[in-house]
Amino acid sequence: MTDSAPVRIYPDTNILVSYSLGDSDENFELAEKLFEEVQNNKYKIVVSNFTLMETLHALRTIVTKMKYQELANSPSQGDLIQIANSKPFEETVHKDSMKAFSTIIDKITKDTQHFSFEPDGLTYPNETFAAGLPLLLATKGSFRVYRFRCQKCNSYLKCSSCRVDSEIVYKEANAPDLVQLLISERLGCKLFFTMDKYFANIPIKDGRVKIEVLAK
């Protein structure tokens, strides 16, 4: 344990969700290392409403994906439309994702030592978000080539019409990434932790929140 007061840090949504998923996430060990330091009182986590919104949406997306992947046989598009519009499917996804979200809320709201929250009634001056556009303008993205994949079994695919099996995609930090970063500054955090490598390209100047990209 450290004797000095813990440093306020802002973990990206991917870290909070990864740690909650445990071994089920590919990058769990990275999140686990950070949380060990939180446990040792080196850091105190600041959770924003934005992070919680993203967490809820990510959990809904994960649960939907899992339910889809669990479907037996090879359902046709018609079958899938029927399933997607059915009440039991909607209720299962809603129930499981809410159970997951409330589990996180339960644990982090009970832990006053390691988690703090956005103060009630906090306002964000326009300058906070005005700083985002210059940052995005100065951020240089990259082009990536991705192979098409089946979302159900993860096998690689080829287009039946033009025979193409990959696509070019532009990748860089995006508006939601910068919003997270700027919120972290407004909440007085010294460090912003993420597992998303695209944050490394954001040209943030000294004296502002420091970005730490956790990587294997």
Partner 1 sequence: MSLEPQKLFSRLWSSIREGLISTFFPSDLLHPIEKAAQYISTKFEQNVILETDMILKQTTLKTIIGPEDHCQRLYLRSLTGLPAIPRTINENPGSVTDLKGCLSWISKGKIDVTGLIREIRDS
Report the interface residues with partner 1, using CB under 8 A.
12-14, 17-27, 32, 35, 38-39, 52, 54, 57-59, 61-63, 65-66, 69, 96, 98, 100-114, 116-120, 171, 174, 176-177, 195-196, 198
Alpha helices by DSSP H, listed for 71-199, are 77-84, 87-110, 126-130, 132-137, 175-186
Task: Output the CA angle 33-108-34, nearest 5 degrees.
Answer: 10
Structure tokens, 97: 């994702």
Distance CA(189)–CA(45), nearest Å, equals 9
Task: Tell me the closest approach of the beta carbon of residue 164 to partner 1, in angstroms.
Answer: 20
Task: Tell me the closest approach of the beta carbon of residue 82 to partner 1, in angstroms.
Answer: 24
- Residue 86 per-residue DSSP state: -
**Closer CB to partner 1, 177 or 183, in the complex:** 177
- Residue 48 per-residue DSSP state: -
Task: Tell me the closest approach of the beta carbon of residue 206 to partner 1, in angstroms.
Answer: 26
Distance CA(108)–CA(16), nearest Å, equals 10
**Closer CB to partner 1, 153 or 162, in the complex:** 153
**Closer CB to partner 1, 66 or 82, in the complex:** 66
Residues 165/148, Cβ–Cβ less than 8 Å: yes
Task: Tell me the closest approach of the beta carbon of residue 184 to partner 1, in angstroms.
Answer: 16
**Closer CB to partner 1, 158 or 171, in the complex:** 171
Task: Tell me the closest approach of the beta carbon of residue 181 to partner 1, in angstroms.
Answer: 12
Task: Tell me the closest approach of the beta carbon of residue 25 to partner 1, in angstroms.
Answer: 5
Distance CA(200)–CA(180), nearest Å, equals 14
Residues 167/148, Cβ–Cβ less than 8 Å: yes
Residues 115/108, Cβ–Cβ less than 8 Å: yes
